[in-house]
Structure 1
Amino acid sequence: MIIREITQEDAIELIKFQKQLDNETKFMLFEPNEREIDEIQQSKMIMSFLESNNSNIFIAESDHRIVGYLSVSGGRTKRIRHSAYIVIGILKDFTGKGIGSELFNAMEQWRLSTKIKRVELTVMTNNEFGIKLYKKMGFEIEGIKKNSMIVDDRFVDEYYMAKIY
């Protein structure tokens, strides 16, 4: 397993990964077949992350295939530049193998070279494995976002979670 920062050459593989993730889990934002992005758009998005001093994407790679990722989107305006929003996803066959912790550790090492002092995320309240990982990595629940999403025609709440450095 290799954990590394993304490159523009990963655009097609990232699209494949995200579409597979959308089909495998109900804990991500997109429904199956809802994500519409092509290689050019994905490449531009990756470049915008790479050019930023407070955003990045880390990938977990197995046999030259992306099996997990963690994106860090830093605030763009002066008042929130110290803060970043995290999205993490791992393919079903690779969960429970420490990849989430390794992705967070890579982000933590990178964060030391930035001015980020707060990382935050949202997680569905029924995502027990995700919540356990985030707490293990030092995140705390700050609040609840009621009726945040509709999954299988039912409202789902999310926790706001954050870690302060």
Structure 2
Amino acid sequence: MRVTQKDFYIRNLRYIIRSAKEKDAKNMSEVRVQIDGETENMDREKGEAYIDESGFKQIINDDTESVSNLFLVAEVNERIVGFSRCEGNKLKRSSHKVEFGVCVLKEYWGYGIGKNLLKESIHWADSNEIKKITLSVLETNDKAIELYKRYGFEVEGILKKDKILTDGNYYNTILMGRFDRN
């Protein structure tokens, strides 16, 4: 599905949030690899589960056609600096919910990009009869957890010792959900 583009100006940085387009695919592939290498908050290490340009084109086209998927990008000076995705399910018993994921290049942290991608996704979900948004977040990602709670997400469960990070230690994954009661 597509949404209307929105412009933001925060701390002297102009960026837009818009639906992903097929022409974004090459840049998306590069940005995803870079983000995976910048933080351990992601599920992947740099280069793992690589999606090439044609793979992103397919995802973008599928998401554009689907009423239960949303693929957003954050763009600064025609460069993608982050993106988010809501992925729904075609199964009738799960058709009321989507899974949310977001990532932003480290140099653009602190400009509200992740927050605004989340807000736009919530608005889209609430406007399209999607009742539940789920997500998973690493237990050490305090800022993200606090942000999600501020926007109505609750902890629904904990996957114990779910990830092993570069320090060799195991960390929990927190499962969160937001249910639209309207």
How far apart in 2 are the matches of 1:112 and 1:142? Answer: 20
Structure 2: distance between partners of 1:36 and 1:108: 27
- Per-residue CA deviation, residues 82-141 of structure 1 (Å, 9 max, x unaligned), is 011011111111112111221112112322342210000010111111111111221111
How many residues were matched structurally? 165
The residue aligned with 1:91 is 105
The answer to whether the aligner puts 1:24 opposite 2:24 as a matched pair is: no
Structure 2: how far apart are the matches of 1:46 and 1:53? Answer: 13
DSSP-derived class of the 1:158 partner:
strand
Q: Contact conserved, 1:101 with 1:137, CA < 8 A, in 2?
A: no
Deviating 4+ runs (over 2 angstroms): none
Contact 1:15 1:37 in 2 (8 A): yes
**1:1-165 equivalences in 2 (<5 Å):** 1-152=15-166, 153-165=168-180
Rounded Cα–Cα distance in structure 2 between residues aligned with 1:92 and 1:41: 24
Deviates more, 1:117-126 or 1:145-154: 145-154
Flag structure 2 segments of 5+ consecutive residues without an equivalent: 1-14
Separation in 1, partners of 2:132, 2:33: 29
| Unpaired stretches in structure 1, ≥5 consecutive residues | none
C-alpha distance in 2 between matches for 1:40 and 1:98: 30
> 1:68 & 1:38 partners in 2: Cα distance?
17
What is the distance in 1 between the residues matched to 2:66 and 2:178? 21
RMSD: 1.2
Matched to 1:141, the amino acid is V
1:49 is displaced (CA, Å) by: 1.0
Give secondary structure in 2 for the equivalent of 1:112: helix
Residue identity in the other structure for 1:115: E
Q: Structure 2 length normalisation: TM-score?
A: 0.86
